[in-house]
Amino acid sequence: MSDSKLQSLGGVIVATALPYREDAAAPAGLAVDHDRYAEHCRWLVDNGCRGVGPNGSLGEYSSLTDDERRRVARTAVEAVGRDGVVVVGVHGPGSHQARHWAQIAAEDGADGVLCLPPTMYRANRGEIIAHFEAVASVGLPVMVYNNPIDTKVDLTPDLLAEIAQIDGVVAVKEFSGDVRRVLEIRERAPGLEVVAGADDVTLEALLMGATGWFAGFPNVFPAESALLYELATAGKLEEARALYEPLVAAFRWDSRTEFVQAIKLGMEQVGRYGGPCRPPRGPLVPEHRAAVTADMDRAIAALARRRAA
């Protein structure tokens, strides 16, 4: 579906979890299961999500070899075809690495890219702007990613207003958790799409004018997540809240250190394949596993009651 003229990166785009299979010859004894990954991408789009986002933090991009990282993005593009958008994570320590991954994404048919500030360096304002200028120069629509928890760089609304002046920067994935920022970003950078980044403040962000959700738990609940987005953006607050509230306890895991393992466990609980993670992520400790299971059980039960009503 690649089209360099695509401007909107809104809707529900799923930051896809990545399945592995055991293989003693692969890094950490785990090889990417591309067949399962392709099926998962297809399932998400078939269940109402607008598209997928390979090679994000949830996709464990930093644990992949360069060859694996490229093939994962290609797999997503081929699986989705013209039925959805593919927004590829191009995060890198420096602008030359991020720009390289953006060029690769463009060659492989991506519709847009998601990009953090420099990932291993607390960049200053000028360096941040230069970083995004380099990525945008490739020509694909760019969604900048504000995740001050992981990067220690905060793309504040005033800084985003400056970044939004870069040709090709069309959206921000806002993961600060501060929903007050949605309106301030819209005020300071009215042409920039604000995309909810943290699942457990999604409804609040959408009600304040966010036009997208770059999401984690739709790996588990794609159809219900697409419905939540539709209800919220249509202003159907009562219906949206009734759907959202039973899910929030599970959604909170999207903002915790163990979010990848938690979402993969959630996938297992609804009959999907989640599987293990590569280092540095290990298995959930027993108390976390029990907590995720309980939160997911409540969400699954609530959705079952909803379907039966």
Q: Give the residue numbers marked as catalytic.
A: 145, 173
What is the DSSP code string of 131-186? HHHHHHTT-S-EEEEE-HHHHS----HHHHHHHTTSTTEEEEEE-SS-THHHHHHH
Q: Which among 37, 49, 33, 135 is positioned nearest to 85, based on CA atoms?
A: 49
Q: Burial of 290 by CB count in 10 Å (0-12 exposed, 13-18 middle, 19+ buried)?
A: exposed
CB 277 within 8 A of CB 260: yes
Q: What single DSSP character describes residue 21?
A: E
Residue 274 buriedness (CB in 10 A; 0-12 / 13-18 / 19+): buried
Q: Which of 145, 73, 144 is nearest to 111 (CA)?
A: 73
Place of tokens 């042409």: 191
Closest-CA residue to 21 (of 68, 56, 85, 62): 68
